[in-house]
Amino acid sequence: MSKIHVSTTVNGDATEYLCEPTSSLLDVLRDTMGLTGSKEGCGSGDCGACTVVLDGEMVCSCLVLAAEAEGRTVATIEGVAEGSVLHPVQQKFLEHAALQCGFCTPGFIVAAKALLDRNPNPTETEVRYWLAGNLCRCTGYDKIVRAVLDAAAELRQERTPA
């Protein structure tokens, strides 16, 4: 079977690639484009380590065919910071020590940013249910939830006129 040509936008950059019809978006991000920040923990959409945002919707990139990205926009962990300036979610993950091994962290940060983009003032329960698709085996989630709530507070302050 011949490869499929795809034109898409990844982290704001127009991008083209050839992919197998069976390749997942995660495979292409990691193996073709070298964007290894999105991780494969399961390949079945159960762990959230590969979370990206596709046309504004949070998805597991292991469950999206690479060919489905044609004409769409993809946002990955590599695009969350603006240059060297960390997004508040990233900064709060560091300040709260919300990571131990760090393998699930990119997926959590992409998911948490997607939450705060649509709900700037989530409750603890809303944070926990929004992040329930992301597995972390190290932290027990305590410091992750605190980091997200703190990032939300910081983002809200930025929106308030001084």
Partner 1 sequence: MNAPETMKQFRPKGFRHVGTRPVRPDGVDKVTGKALYSPDFKAPGMLWGAILRSPHPHARIISIDTKKAEALVGVKAVATGRDLPTLESLVMHVGEGASDIVDVSHNCLALDKVLYEGHAVVAVAATSPEIAREALGLITVEYEELPFVLGVEEALAEGAPVLHDNVFTKGVEPKPEKPSNAAMRVEMGGGDVEGALASAAATVTERYTLEPVHQGYIEPHACVASWNGDGQAQIWTSSQGHFAVRSLTASVLAMPQSDIRVTPLEIGGGFGGKTTIYLEPVAMVLSRKSGRPVRLAMTREEVFRATGPAPGAVIDVRIGADAEGTLVAAEVEFLYHSGAYTANDAGAGVSSAIGHYRIANTRVVGTEVLCNRPAAKAYRAPGAPQVNFAVESAIDELAGKLGIDPLELRLKNAAAEGDPQTSGLPWGRIGWVECLEAARAHPHWSAPLGPNQGRGIAGGYWGNYGGPSTVNVSVAEDGTITVATGSPDIGGSRASMAIMAAEVLDVPYEQVRSVVADTASIGVSMVTGGSRTTFATGMATVQAAEDVKSILCQRAARMWGVSDDQVEWRSGAVVCLEGEKQGQSMTAAAIAGRSFHSGGPIAAVAALSAKGWLPGFGVHICDTEVDPETGHVKIVRYTAIQDVGTAIHPDYVEGQMQGGAAQGIGWALNEAYIYGKNGKLDNAGFLDYRMPVASDLPMIDTVMVEVPNPAHPYGVKGVGEVPIVPPLAAVANAIHGAIGQRLRDLPMVPDRVYAALHPEG
**Tokens 């992301």 sit on residue:** 134
Query: Would you say 8 or 105 has its CB closer to partner 1?
Result: 105
**The binder of partner 1 chosen from 60, 69, 75, 99 (CB under 8 A):** 99
Sort 111 into a burial class: Cβ within 10 Å, 0-12 / 13-18 / 19+.
buried
> Residue 95, interface with partner 1 (CB under 8 A)?
yes
**The binder of partner 1 chosen from 32, 33, 40, 73 (CB under 8 A):** 40
Binding to partner 1, residues 113-152 (CB under 8 A) = 124-125, 127-129, 131-146
Distance CA 104, CA 37 (A): 10
**The binder of partner 1 chosen from 59, 105, 122, 152 (CB under 8 A):** 105
Comparing C-alpha atoms, which of 27, 23, 28, 20 is closest to residue 3? 20
Residue 85 CB neighbours (<10 A): 8
**The binder of partner 1 chosen from 43, 68, 72, 73 (CB under 8 A):** 43
Distance CA 38, CA 41 (A): 10
Q: List contacts with partner 1 (CB under 8 A).
A: 20, 22, 30-31, 35-44, 46-47, 49, 76-78, 80-81, 86, 90, 93-97, 99-106, 109, 124-125, 127-129, 131-146
